[in-house]
């Protein structure tokens, strides 16, 4: 067992890596160590040898992530470059590595005429992130399609798992502790042919209704049962409200945009302000969907 700094790896290990480079909010403090393994073997032997008490955090592309300005202790693993396999396994089954972009999965499934799959095109993250979040859009959800999952644990051992081993809900997934997704097999349906037109229409709708050119993490809050967070935030008069460089989007009230070099603290304070104001105005307690991780600044 050794510290990350003392382990020989084939991939790239960087220290004090700004996570603002690896999050779609373009904000956040540094990772103590940021590891991009060269292969699954490299990853497995690193995990097998790493001190058990070193914190580990798995990163997709950071499209649902707020890393506090004090940064992330331990090691951030970014394995997306080595988990890129995407193949059709039989008539209905598709195998996808955790590093495959959801948009790529959607486009390939349209080519293969396997649906329903268009919804994946609306999720600007990886398959790994979509599995961790049960990401969904336009009426579809990741885990509705999961047939089996491949994971790696802290010792570097690989497991084949079944969906029954996970508890899956709206933007929430819990399963075996201290395991991360290497990939999944997805089952699509015989009589659902996806169309590029549908997919493009969905993406067009997003462009019209979401501030897509600006740094954000998509929807900040989960929708409460029977209502929409965006509606409640707008009704509370919060569109355009700013703290530091962070702003509630005028275009879509459930988006917080990094308008002007926002710190993660600005964003987190704005999230809390929105939550408290909506609670005061409408009595609804919103829960954030974005993952907030790391340490507060000293
Ligand atoms: C403009 C915009 C629009 C969006 N629209 C949608 C939408 O319509 N629907 C929706 O659901 N989401 C949406 N999102 C949010 C985001 O894209 C999804 O939550 C996505 O699934 C996150 O994937 P990621 O690869 O970026 O994960 P990250 O943000 O890097 O990580 C998110 C979480 O997943 C964990 N994780 C990542 N990879 C793995 C892995 N291999 N194994 C285990 N855990 C892992 C991380 O530890 C973290 O807890 C949007 C975001 C943006 C910026």
E strand or H helix at 72, and its extent? Answer: strand 72-78
The pLDDT confidence band at residue 191, using thresholds 50, 70 and 90, is confident
Taking the centre of ligand 1 as the mean of its atom positions, its distance from the CA of residue 1, in whole angstroms, is 31
Active centre residues (catalytic): 171, 219, 289
Tokens of 36: 């991009």
Tokens of 109: 């499934």
- Site to substitute for ligand 1 among 63, 118, 137, 149, most atoms within 8 A of C-beta: 63
Q: Comparing 25-29, 188-192, 219-223, which segment has the lowest mean pLDDT?
A: 188-192
With helix as H, strand as E and coil as C, how does 185-252 read?
EEECECCCCCCHHHHHHHHHHHHHHCCCCCCCCCECECCCCCCCHHHHHHHCCCCCCEECCEEECCCC
- The pTM of the full predicted model, rounded to 2 decimals, is 0.97
Q: Which atom of ligand 1 is nearest to the CA of 58?
A: 47
Tokens of 227: 């209502």
CA distance 50 to 155: 8
CA nearest ligand 1 atom 14, residue = 218
pLDDT in tens, 239-284: 999 999 999 999 999 999 999 999 999 999 999 999 999 999 999 9
The pLDDT confidence band at residue 298, using thresholds 50, 70 and 90, is confident
């Amino acid at each position: 067992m050794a510290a990350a700094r003392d382990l020989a790896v084939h991939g790239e290990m960087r220290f004090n890596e700004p996570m603002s480079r690896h999050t779609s909010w373009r904000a956040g403090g540094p990772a103590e160590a940021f590891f991009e393994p060269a292969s699954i073997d490299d990853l497995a032997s690193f995990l097998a040898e790493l001190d058990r008490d070193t914190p580990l955090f798995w990163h997709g592309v950071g499209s649902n992530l707020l890393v506090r300005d004090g940064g992330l202790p331990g090691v951030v693993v970014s394995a997306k470059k080595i988990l890129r396999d995407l193949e059709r396994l039989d008539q209905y089954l598709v195998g996808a590595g955790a590093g495959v972009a959801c948009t790529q999965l959607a486009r390939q499934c349209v080519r293969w005429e396997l649906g329903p799959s268009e919804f994946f095109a609306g999720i600007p993250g990886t398959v790994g992130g979509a599995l961790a979040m049960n990401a969904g859009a336009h009426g579809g959800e990741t885990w509705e399609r999961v047939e089996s999952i491949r994971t790696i644990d802290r010792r570097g051992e690989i497991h084949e798992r079944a969906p029954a081993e996970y508890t899956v809900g709206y933007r929430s997934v819990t399963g075996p502790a201290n395991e991360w997704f290497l990939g999944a097999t997805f089952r699509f349906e015989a009589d659902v042919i996806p169309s590029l037109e549908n997919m493009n229409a969905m993406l067009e709708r997003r462009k019209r209704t979401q501030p897509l050119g600006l740094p954000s993490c998509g929807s900040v809050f989960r929708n409460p049962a029977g209502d929409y967070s965006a509606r409640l935030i707008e009704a509370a008069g919060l569109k355009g409200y700013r703290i530091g460089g962070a702003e509630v989007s005028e275009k879509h009230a459930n988006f917080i945009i990094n308008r002007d070099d926002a710190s993660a603290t600005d964003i987190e304070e704005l999230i809390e302000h929105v939550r408290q104001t909506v609670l005061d105005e409408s009595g609804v307690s919103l829960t954030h969907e974005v993952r907030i991780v790391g340490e507060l600044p000293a």
